[in-house]
Amino acid sequence: DAKTTQPPSMDCAEGRAANLPCNHSTISGNEYVYWYRQIHSQGPQYIIHGLKNNETNEMASLIITEDRKSSTLILPHATLRDTAVYYCPTGANSKLTFGKGITLSVRP
Amino acid sequence: DAGVIQSPRHEVTEMGQEVTLRCKPISGHDYLFWYRQTMMRGLELLIYFNNNVPIDDSGMPEDRFSAKMPNASFSTLKIQPSEPRDSAVYFCASSRTGMGETQYFGPGTRLLVL
């Protein structure tokens, strides 16, 4: 499974878009990119995933570069409740490898 | 659906005691995962099952740890004997199938070994 790296933290203003980066330069062709978030000590919550194409759902958008070595999670209108640690594990055959994640702080 | 259910939510025990953590996956899910989360090591996959059969236990730290899945609706993670370094939050997750499927996490069991 690919190792993922992210900046340790970032912040954004409430109501603005939050763009969270992830590097997965060693990803293999059959590995998906997933995004999860963890609020306080709750269990990680699924956000979105993709293989090659960009994806969008009611929570967020996922942009994957053409070479698949990096991706960006976009929260279009961040709220205070989006403050959390965001992870971008990759995986194939069910197994996910989580990195250290990026702490997003949304400020009023 | 109630989601993934874990019990107990909190466990405090003394070094050397046996600890059993329990998990009920979402009905219809074929895969079950056990993770451990600590500040030092982050979120680590310990073991996962497919249709009640252990597929990969390479993340199990040592022989003191064992996991079973006697049926599709129940799994246990046992630590015997427990040590202070086992203190962590243990998460169970389940998914419908393997590749490309979402894993749904339970609320976790916070374990403290004194």
Q: Could you list the pLDDT tens digit for every one of the 108 residues in chain A? A: 568 999 999 999 999 999 999 999 888 888 899 999 999 889 999 999 999 989 999 999 999 999 999 999 999 999 999 999 999 998 877 788 888 999 999 999
Rounded CA gap, A86 and A81, in Å? 13
Q: In the predicted model, is pLDDT for residue B99 greater than 70?
A: no
**Which residue from B minimizes the CA distance to A100?**
B42
- Chain B residue numbers with beta carbons less than 8 Å from the beta carbon of A96 are 45, 103
3-state secondary structure of A26: coil
User: Which stretch, A2-11, B24-33, B97-106, has highest mean pLDDT?
Assistant: B24-33
A52 touches chain B (CB under 8 A): no
- Per-residue model confidence (pLDDT) at position B98: 64
Residue A49 near chain B (CB below 8 Å): yes
Q: Does B105 touch chain A (CB under 8 A)?
A: yes
Query: CA–CA separation, A66 vs A49, rounded Å?
Result: 15
Q: Is the pLDDT of residue B101 over 90?
A: no
> Which chain A positions have a beta carbon within 8 Å of B50's beta carbon?
94
Residue A106, SS3?
strand
CA distance A22 to B66: 34
Contacts of B45 in chain A (CB under 8 A): 95-98
Rounded to an integer, what is the distance from CA A44 to the centroid of its chain?
12
Tokens of B62: 């040592």
Collect all residues with Cβ–Cβ distance below 8 Å to B20 and sequence separation of at least 6.
B76, B77, B78
Beta bridge pairs of residue A96: A91
